[in-house]
Amino acid sequence: MSRALILLGFLSALTSVASAQAPIPERRVGVVVYGATPGGIAAAVAAAREGAAVTLLEESSHIGGLSAGGLSHTDFRTYESLGGLWREFMDRVDAHYKTTYGDGSPQQKASMLGGYYEPRVAGMIFRQMLDEAKVEVLTRHRPTGVYIPFTADGRRSLAAVTFTNLADGKPTTLYAGVFIDGTYEGDLMALAGVKYRLGCEAKTEYDESLAFEEANPWVMAINFRVCLSKNAENRLPIPQPAGYDRVHFTKVLDAVKAGQIKNLDDIIRVRPVPNDKADFNDKMGSPVSLKLVNESADWPEGSPEVRAKIYDKARYQALGILWFLQNDAEVPEFLKKEVAEWGLPKDEYVDSGHWSPALYIREGRRMVGVRVFTEQFTQPDAAGVRAPAQATAIAIGDYSLNSHGVHRLPDGKLLGVISKQIRPWQVPFECLLPKDLDALLAPVALSASHVGYSAIRMEPTWTALGQAAGIAAGQAIKEKKNPRDLDVGKLQRRLHDVGAITFYTSDVPPKHPAFKAVQWFGNRGLFQDLIPASHATDWKLENLSKNNQWTKAFPHHAMEPDKPITAELAKLWIDRVTALGLKLTTDIPAADGEKPVSRGDFLRAMYRAVDAEYAPKPRNK
């Protein structure tokens, strides 16, 4: 090699790279993304659409993470929170079922506007998006070395990563302007020596009401999101797992006798997806379900061999409970009959025995970044009903604080279960930035507390964060800057251009004329008291159907863009915009004129100041 490899914390890998007899091939690309999760794919596609040459690498042969691995019943609350590449993904899912089976077909209806999908369909669409963006995709590649020189100002900057091809054992070093860690575990950032956290913080560290009294090393439970079929022509028998012992599952019988189990959904959460399939997930509160708890702490830092053992144990747990319910002599007939309808899908995971290659990792390493997303980011602002405004927000999320538990005591008690409804929230760009390393972004294993991460850890949110990371990488390449030096306002404008959401509203979607203005000013706090704080606890979410957790738009988050603006509100908004340091143009319509002016039109007029601020400046002749 022409340059030394510095591998922090992995000296054995450094030795093997440095002592290699043959020179390691090197090449340069614009952006390197590691991890073909939805967040990683979004980062790669977004960066490529910005004009960067992008290489996406993945350790396994699987493309699409959990969304193509069984999590087919998307976790979010309101459609109004979805934009950007995740909404594009859903639109493509909907179009697939419409084109393949017909407009209004049972399959299209079952996909619920693209929010429900078969794993194979999700994988197909992700690959289409990558192909169309001309992203180079390399599977079966693992990072084994990093090159981290110092910049002119004395900062450490990730310049190159060596990846080993697991098929032939040959390494290749990729140089890039920006690297993005899209893995659930944070494997690349850990290899680069970025500071991270595992486990739960103490309550006092971030003043979080849901945190433990003392810090601990426990990590959220893991399990498979099992895809099963009840189509007799497309299902295979559920096999008895190797080493099966019914004693591991007999607690279900005790719960049945106690009257706690009325149907399968009381044991395993079953949610339908198209073509007579379903997404089987762990059921919170079930006596025996799909999850592994104590083993989850060993996964993030585990070697490939350790992770393989945990994968096998989680597979045993899932297959074991299903086999038990279908075949055990003591299982009541009503329950056995219901479970007997299901089997492994013939047309899914054909290369891995019709079983998902992707284990549901709810939480891995969490970077300790420039800012840390905590429970406080999700709590109501003192001024009104909204979560705090984040001037540097690059994504939003709409989900509860949610954990399936982190540790089981010998007596069976499960610790760390969290389920708390919160309002939609914003994630600042700084949560993607390491404190002490340049040229790396982490949109999935981002900087968050354990409690804060319990809300973030959903694929639509990770995808939004990945898209923001990809656009940031593209801008950094174009402007020859480090991501931390980017103008976040410019990044936000580009996100809004492509329909990404950084501020939640229930009535101003991406195609609305006032969308960009509402997003921009919303992040800067103009609307925090639009709905008074007296409504902070005056809300109830209304489910769209009994088969999902999706709800109607979040209450008290409307902008009412067509409503005439009052002179009082107009003055308040002008004063706040002026306080931001923006000079307003003279064509702001008068709120007390003869012709009423809507809130939306007024905001659009104010937004011209932002357009002027970021418009290309004329060159000096």
Res 241: pLDDT: 98
Q: What are phi and psi of 4, to 5 degrees?
A: -75, 145
Quick: pLDDT tens for 325-382: 999 999 999 999 999 999 999 999 999 999 999 999 999 999 999 999 999 999 999 8
Res 17: pLDDT: 41
Backbone angle region of 562, left / alpha / beta, with phi > 0 → left and psi within -120 to 50 → alpha: alpha
Q: How far apart are CA 453 and CA 458, in angstroms?
A: 9
Average confidence score pLDDT of the chain:
93
Q: How far apart are CA 36 and CA 56, in angstroms?
A: 7
The gap from C-alpha 160 to its chain's centroid, in whole angstroms, comes to 26
Q: What mean pLDDT comes out for the span 432-456?
A: 98
The pLDDT of residue 7 is above 70: no
Backbone angle region of 50, left / alpha / beta, with phi > 0 → left and psi within -120 to 50 → alpha: alpha
The pLDDT of residue 45 is above 70: yes
Give me the helices (H) in 457-566, please: 459-479, 488-497, 515-523
Nearest Cα neighbor of 425 from 362, 375, 484 is: 375
Res 145: pLDDT: 98
Encoded tokens for 244: 């099966």
Res 586: pLDDT: 57
Q: How far apart are CA 191 and CA 411, in angstroms?
A: 38
The pLDDT of residue 18 is above 60: no
Strand pairing report for 31-34 and 178-181: parallel
Q: What mean pLDDT comes out for the span 406-433?
A: 96
Q: Are 146 and 191 in contact (CB under 8 A)?
A: yes
Over the Cα atoms of the chain, what is R_g? 25
**Residue 603: other Cβ atoms inside 10 A:** 26
Share of the chain above pLDDT 90, in %: 84
Share of the chain above pLDDT 70, in %: 93
Res 41: pLDDT: 99
Encoded tokens for 145: 């070395």
What DSSP state is assigned to residue 312?
H
* pLDDT-based confidence at residue 152 (cuts at 50, 70, 90): confident
Encoded tokens for 282: 């762990």
Q: Which of 163-167, 192-196, 556-560, 574-578 has the lowest mean pLDDT?
A: 574-578
Q: What mean pLDDT comes out for the span 552-578?
A: 93
The pLDDT of residue 272 is above 80: yes
